[in-house]
Structure 1
């Protein structure tokens, strides 16, 4: 919630006061948590070490509960021929050219054998990928979403999850952005219109209830 603006909160509550139910078949979607956002030498560095710690806890809990885990990353052919206008708009996306170490998952947040990795070229984890089909094949009805960045690929993926019929539950502490203002504003808007924004503690409790 945006702090210190009761009028705004009241205004939104008057129009947007619905809630989504947590389903019977959840999965964890970790969006683009790669070295480009963790390496201070990267143009995309975002200082999201706290969010990394939250993702480590979230991932361990999902695995312990037997919840399917999906990682996404971004991979472009050199020069961005498959990146379209997105690649043109954000020159820093060159960090994700195939073979770049900035596109790797951090050592403490690695997919296990058998876990799904979806490589994408645009903001949403659904756009131009087979994620929708993969989730339906697994019988998933709910996505707990974490990752980077809150105002970019997390937002786009949560919106598309809703539009594809998967209830999105965005985990606040497990998302990160370059600045707290877009992070907080995006979470406020997601909660109002497109998703349930929950705490890490709530997410861990939900995983525990799935055991």
Structure 2
């Protein structure tokens, strides 16, 4: 296939190292992205179940589990450029159910939660410094949405010096074409897109 050859000839698609000190980052699995009663959300039951299997495997090896949510205060709703482009995101307002992490996730009170204002888990947060301080060298990414916050977080993670693994079956998007395109792009340039089963085996090997 010409596309595959083009990327291979350009030197893309190599495998990233699996470090000995990973962290699991669960991106934006709040009700605003997981409860399909909201226009901003997708049906995410399957991805939540897969994410819980990753969380369980991480806890067995004392691997940090970190969550993110997008949430805006009232003063930001009419001034942030992103919200002028994606106006539906204005519903993700502080104090609303949409910004609460889905209670189907096996979250513990000690798990860190980062509140962000943009797509990337790293932009405008101290996530990178917290990971570095904990000695983390590899991040495993799951959550929503694949073409938005997952991809942006993967790009920023590798730019921040971390190896990146994306659990394909733990990622959800509103439509299949952007989901697949984002995973392809990540696999070629920024990290390894793998199954949750492969990640669980990786965790078990530590």
Shift of 1:7: 2.3
1:115 partnered with 2:95: no
Q: Which moved more, 1:94-103 or 1:83-92?
A: 83-92
Give CA deviations for 1:68-93 in whole Å, capped at 9, x if unaligned: 01100011102525972112211111
Please give the alpha-carbon distance, in whole angstroms, between the structure 1 residues aligned to 2:87 and 2:150: 20
Contact persistence 2:187–2:193 (CA under 8 A): yes
Please give the alpha-carbon distance, in whole angstroms, between the structure 2 residues aligned to 1:28 and 1:132: 13
Structure-2 residue corresponding to 1:61: 57
Please give the alpha-carbon distance, in whole angstroms, between the structure 1 residues aligned to 2:160 and 2:43: 31
Counterpart pick for 2:122 among 123, 126, 129: 126
Structure-1 residue corresponding to 2:98: 102
Aligned residues: 205
Shift of 1:41: 2.0
- The runs of 5 or more residues in structure 1 that have no matched partner are 1-5
1:209 partnered with 2:202: no
- Taking structure 2 as the reference length, what is the TM-score of the superposition? 0.95
1:51–1:11: structure 2 CA closer, same or farther, 3 Å change rule? same
- Taking structure 1 as the reference length, what is the TM-score of the superposition? 0.92
Structure-1 residue corresponding to 2:8: 13
Please give the alpha-carbon distance, in whole angstroms, between the structure 2 residues aligned to 1:150 and 1:199: 14
Q: Give the ranges of 4+ consecutive aligned residues of structure 1 lying more than 6 Å apart after TM superposition.
A: none
Please give the alpha-carbon distance, in whole angstroms, between the structure 1 residues aligned to 2:48 and 2:113: 18
- The runs of 5 or more residues in structure 2 that have no matched partner are none
RMSD of Structure 2 on Structure 1 (CA): 1.4
Please give the alpha-carbon distance, in whole angstroms, between the structure 1 residues aligned to 2:143 and 2:34: 12
Structure-1 residue corresponding to 2:134: 138
Structure-2 residue corresponding to 1:154: 150
Contact persistence 2:55–2:106 (CA under 8 A): no
Shift of 1:20: 1.0
Shift of 1:10: 2.3
